[in-house]
Amino acid sequence: MQTQTLIIGAGLSGLCLARQLQAQNHDYMLVEARSRPGGRILTERLEGGYFDMGPAWFWPGQPRIAALIKRLGLEWFEQYSTGALSFEDEAGRVERGRGFASMQGSYRLKGGLGALIDALAAEIPQKRLMLSTPVVGLAKSASGITVTTQSGQAIPAQEVALALPPRVASQLTFSPALPKETHAAMTGIATWMAGQAKAIAVYDTPFWRTAGLSGDVMSRRGPMVEIHDASPAEGGPYALFGFIGLPPRARSNEERLRQELKEQLSRLFGAEAAEPKTLFVKDWAFDPFTSIEADQQPLYAHPQYGLPHAMTRLWDGRLIFGGTEVAPQFGGYIEGALEAADNVLALIMTEKV
Ligand SMILES: Cc1cc2nc3c(=O)[nH]c(=O)nc-3n(C[C@H](O)[C@H](O)[C@H](O)COP(=O)(O)OP(=O)(O)OC[C@H]3O[C@@H](n4cnc5c(N)ncnc54)[C@H](O)[C@@H]3O)c2cc1C
């Protein structure tokens, strides 16, 4: 097997690039480590409900995601934020009406963002998408780049698009080794939200709504520091989700964490909240296809993303970085994943080798 453009990573960025190459009848292969496409986009489904364990929101002023949703015939809705806010102090005392609805005006997708991934993946012929195929190494050759997979398969390509977080890409073997400043630039780019963990508690009824609460909580006690309503657009099952504020090492005992999550939900929303029908927990910090050890350090602000000079024009321009972390305008966000795909496409189309 050989191909012109080999894309590593079938997250939103890689999928979008593949779809655009497909539309241009360009020869490509899309290789994905996990058994599913989507990367950080992961939607759990339960009884008709959809629950985003990675990203859930997009915002006004993000043109690519809006256009993509429209093109795919999908629908969005506004984050639920009707009702009183709650605040929990260090001692677990709960006050109503304090804080602010930080995500009011954010948009969510009907079917979850997984619906977007399903629709995009359906546009890519099966023979071009290789799932469960982790790439382990890249070697420069006279005519291009040979990519080696974990199972030992070698795929020659004329160019490679790395549609994965630069830190994750830094774990691959490059032959010859990339320049020191390139490696340093790659490891220096923190992967957005990689150190995060999310919990979603699913219920048959939205009892917090009927009690006049929006589901929005700011907590100084934790484990969840920020909670929001995560119910589907219409009907149930209903849900609350929270970002877990404990550092990665402190949340490695999942059984204890689950118990603490239920106790917190009960403090905040009453006894009914203590027994969700399902409690989904996804810890991205321990997922090797999203995070490396450095991502266990908390990020206190949104980094300034973009493509550092040291990560350009590599291997005669045949090794190209994609993925949201190298998007200059919307880096980190799902909009940035699409922006990065557009930038890689422009390079492939103009800098033909
Ligand atoms: C908890 C959480 C909440 C978030 N919330 C939001 C939000 O509300 N709004 C928003 O805009 N953004 C949010 N984000 C960020 C958003 O998820 C990303 O911007 C976006 O999904 C990045 O897409 P990507 O394709 O660039 O990267 P990824 O989704 O990381 O895709 C990279 C792909 O490469 C694959 N891969 C890795 N290593 C290899 C290998 N060796 N071989 C082959 N394949 C490999 C991975 O499996 C993955 O599929 C959130 C992220 C998280 C984790």
pLDDT in tens, 169-180: 999 999 999 999
Residues 207-219 have a mean pLDDT of 96
Give the mutation target among 116, 226, 334 for probing the ligand 1 site: most ligand atoms within 8 A of CB. 334
pLDDT of 102 reads: 80
- pLDDT beyond 50 at 18: yes
List, in sequence order, every residue forming a beta bridge with 224; answer none if it has no partner.
244
Give the mutation target among 58, 164, 171, 287 for probing the ligand 1 site: most ligand atoms within 8 A of CB. 164
d(CA 133, CA 151): 8
Give the C-alpha distances (Å, rounded to integers) separating 301 from 51, 172, 192, 193, 327: 25, 27, 10, 11, 17
pLDDT tens by residue, 244-268: 999 999 998 999 999 999 999 999 9
Tokens of 179: 């320049």
Q: Which residues line ligand 1 (CB under 6 A)?
A: 8-14, 31-34, 39-41, 54-58, 134-135, 163-165, 168, 192-193, 196, 198, 284, 289-290, 323-324, 332-334, 336-337
Q: How far is the CA of 92 from the centre of ligand 1 (A)?
A: 33
Q: What share of the chain has pLDDT > 90, as a percent? A: 94
pLDDT of 352 reads: 52
pLDDT tens by residue, 101-117: 788 899 999 999 999 99
Nearest residue (by CA) to ligand 1, atom 50, is 55
Using the structure block, give the residue that is written with the tokens 């994609």.
322
Nearest residue (by CA) to ligand 1, atom 12, is 333
d(CA 326, CA 189): 9
Neighbours of 97 (CB within 10 A): 10
List, in sequence order, every residue forming a beta bridge with 185; answer none if it has no partner.
none
- pLDDT beyond 80 at 342: yes
Mean pLDDT of the chain: 96
Q: Which numbered atom of ligand 1 lies nearest the CA of 9?
A: 34
E-strand spans in the chain? 3-8, 28-31, 43-46, 49-52, 76-78, 84-88, 94-96, 107-109, 129-130, 135-141, 144-149, 154-162, 173-175, 197-203, 213-219, 224-229, 238-244, 278-283, 319-321
Using the structure block, give the residue that is written with the tokens 């919307």.
330
Asked if 314 contacts 178 with a C-beta cutoff of 8 angstroms, the reply is yes
Q: Which numbered atom of ligand 1 lies nearest the CA of 39?
A: 49
For the chain, the maximum distance between any two Cα atoms, rounded to a whole number of angstroms, is 68
The set of residues, in sequence order, having a beta carbon less than 8 Å from that of 301 and lying 6+ positions away, is none
Q: For residue 148, what pLDDT band results from cuts at 50, 70 and 90?
A: very high
Please, what are the domains in the chain? Answer: 1-40+113-190+290-353 (3.50.50.60), 76-109+195-287 (3.90.660.10)
d(CA 292, CA 124): 29
Q: Which numbered atom of ligand 1 lies nearest the CA of 34?
A: 47
Q: Burial-class residue 11 by CB neighbours within 10 Å (0-12, 13-18, 19+).
A: buried
d(CA 69, CA 51): 18
Residue among 103, 104, 106 nearest 59 (CA): 106
Opening angle at CA 145, ends 294 and 292, nearest 5: 10
d(CA 331, CA 339): 8
Query: Is the peptide bond between 156 and the residue preceding it cis, with omega within 30 degrees of 0?
Result: no
- What is the C-alpha end-to-end distance of the chain, expressed in Å? 20
pLDDT tens by residue, 46-80: 999 999 999 999 999 999 999 999 999 999 999 99
pLDDT of 104 reads: 87
Q: What share of the chain has pLDDT > 70, as a percent? A: 99
pLDDT of 224 reads: 98
pLDDT of 353 reads: 43
pLDDT tens by residue, 274-313: 999 999 999 999 999 999 999 998 888 999 999 999 999 9
Asked if 22 contacts 123 with a C-beta cutoff of 8 angstroms, the reply is yes
Residue among 24, 30, 28, 27 nearest 11 (CA): 30
pLDDT of 351 reads: 56
Residues 115-130 have a mean pLDDT of 98
Nearest residue (by CA) to ligand 1, atom 33, is 9
